Structure 1
Amino acid sequence: MPPRPRIKPSSRLLVPLLRPSPRLGIAPISSSPQLLTNTFSSPHSHSPSPDAISPKRTFSSSSSPSTEPPPAPSSRWYSDLKARLGKCILFGCTREQAQRAAVVLGALATEWRALTAGAEGFLTGGRKGLERQQVVWGEMDSFGHVNNVTYIRYAESARVNWILHFAGVDPKNGAQWRELMTPKATGLILKSIKAEYKFPMTYPDSISVYHKLRSLPSATDTSLILDCVILSHGHRRVAARTEEDIVVYDYAAARKTAIPPFALDVFRDVWRQQEDEIARARKRIWDLTREVEALEKDTWDRADAVEDLGAAGKGGQ
């Protein structure tokens, strides 16, 4: 008995979901690196971290319940899900199955950035770093890729935007937040920065850059360790990471000082939001993974599955 033909999905259902995002110009750059690790790592060594803009967050003193977040997904979750969907589509889908695949592809196309970053606790959206910044041709060097120091400049520009963003979130202390980036009273000084490069990024491309607190700050802390992730939109993966040691400095006394109380309250709330975002993003990734697994069970992984080869399967008749 000849295999039952299946309806092929129309490309019109899938292609519009993968259009690239618009690009913007790069933000001003402010400070200089002090420490740089100049090594490229394997493309398989990057860690995971929704292209959709997150809703505006507000800061409060309430804390979320302490629950264990879902396990971290594979570092290659995005490319793996796309490949698995492709296998289902190539095998042959009914119209209903093609629509299910299109929904998942749409989610991957619009949420990849927020899910990749959020799974590690980076908060996306708004003015919390650099988003959709264009990589310009002049940032490449004689080796044909973006110069290593340029990644440090991306990270530092994003950090300045991240700090200044809190002036709008906490308007009562807006002037003090802005002063943190000036040598006037209490300020933030970059003590060291270490970079880890994942692959040699090239023009044309665009990037998004985010920061997060590595640990919950305390009232006696005189420094902050910030993690930063630089995402390539062209490759839809992590291009580089930085680790930044930021010292709180009293310019009048010419010495280190504790984190100001107004900043400590906000940073503690940011930490809680980071933990919430980890749980949200990971749950979403695992939900999408289950959708793909269900589609596999309904297509090529069925017990009675027979691949739809089209005309070739009919002997070229």
Structure 2
Amino acid sequence: MPEKMRSTVSRITSSHLAVYATRPSSARTLTTTARLRASTPPPASENGAVNSRWLSDLQSKLHKSLSLKIAPSKIEEVKERLAYLDQNWLKLSAGREGYLADEERRGVDRHAVQWGDMSGRVNWTRKLAQFSDPKYEQEWYDLMTPKGVGLILASIRTDFKFPMTFPDRVTVLHKLVTKPDSSSDRFYLEAVMYSEQHRRPAAKCFEDIVVYDYRAAKKAPLKPFMVDVMRATFDLQEQRKQEAEKKVAELHAFVKEVEDSAGAA
């Protein structure tokens, strides 16, 4: 990727990758983070890879079917499916890979490329507070500070797919890779950065997050109410994935039905 073209996605990614919480002394933070790096390779995603161009391929087939000799009623159905894809492309694309694309769960929502300077990871975690008992809201927010139990980015890997350029917009979504339990003192996230212009991922990240007790200066397990919310989130991810796959399968079946009906009108 040319350096100049890479810079746009790099700016978004570098700010998006900001560490959750840091100590007053930057040198001490770096030492702490290095000490908490995983001793074993992080797990790979449990979800299978999805063709990043599935949406454009499906839309192309639907558009081509309009040039076939099909019944007027089928033409209207094709147009309805095209409109549906246009309105729900992000929900379907994200859902197929287990991401929750609801607006209240987005780390970064349709930010203009040149202003992609927010940490999607921080926003994603803070937004979990709305799915928990209101009395825990401050504790969710305190995870981003060194006041007590916080989160530290132990490692991260980023894969760039293609360069984004102005005036594109980016939406950043996160998902839990594994289901936390009461003993979890770290968890793994995958992040995807969707290009609104191209309607496919421009970059993907894998993040290893450590739960750290700043007062005790050591790792600590997630609090029970956090485990409950994260486990429910993981289950919802799996549910949305099944729903999205079912819908996409229905759309492909519809395309075949239209193609098979060509000439019978």
Q: 1:161 aligns with which of 116, 119, 123?
A: 123
Match for 2:237: what amino acid? Q
Q: Which has the larger radius of gyration?
A: 1
Q: Which residue in 2 is equivalent to 1:192?
A: 155
Match for 2:253: what amino acid? R
Structure 1 residue 102 and structure 2 residue 79: aligned? yes
| Unpaired stretches in structure 1, ≥5 consecutive residues | 1-25, 35-68, 140-149, 306-317
Structure 1 residue 32 and structure 2 residue 18: aligned? yes
**Is contact 1:73-1:285 (8 Å) kept?**
no
Please report how far the alpha carbon of residue 294 of structure 1 lies from its aligned counterpart in structure 2 after TM superposition: 1.0
Map residues 244-255 of structure 1 onto 2, 5 A cutoff.
244-255=207-218
Q: Which residue in 2 is equivalent to 1:20?
A: none
Question: SS of 2:66's equivalent?
Answer: helix
TM norm structure 1: 0.66
Q: Deviations over 1:222-257 (max 9, x none)?
A: 111100011101001111100011110000011111
CA RMSD of aligned residues (A): 2.4
**Is contact 2:113-2:170 (8 Å) kept?**
yes
Distance 1:293 1:213 in 2: 35
Q: Which residue in 1 is equivalent to 2:112?
A: 134
Q: Deviations over 1:108-166 (max 9, x none)?
A: 10111011001111111133121222112xx7xxxxxxxxxx7xx56xx1111111112
Please report how far the alpha carbon of residue 172 of structure 1 lies from its aligned counterpart in structure 2 after TM superposition: 2.3
> Could you say if the C-alpha distance between residues 230 and 216 of structure 1 is closer, same or farther in structure 2, counting changes exceeding 3 Å?
same
Q: Which residue in 1 is equivalent to 2:63?
A: 86
Please report how far the alpha carbon of residue 31 of structure 1 lies from its aligned counterpart in structure 2 after TM superposition: 6.1
Match for 1:130: what amino acid? V
Q: Which residue in 2 is equivalent to 1:177?
A: 140
| Unpaired stretches in structure 2, ≥5 consecutive residues | 1-11, 20-29, 31-46
Map residues 36-51 of structure 1 onto 2, 5 A cutoff.
none
Distance 2:249 2:16 in 1: 39
Distance 2:201 2:222 in 1: 30
Question: SS of 1:259's equivalent?
Answer: coil
Q: Which residue in 2 is equivalent to 1:285?
A: 248
Q: Deviations over 1:260-300 (max 9, x none)?
A: 1111111111111111111111111111111111111122x
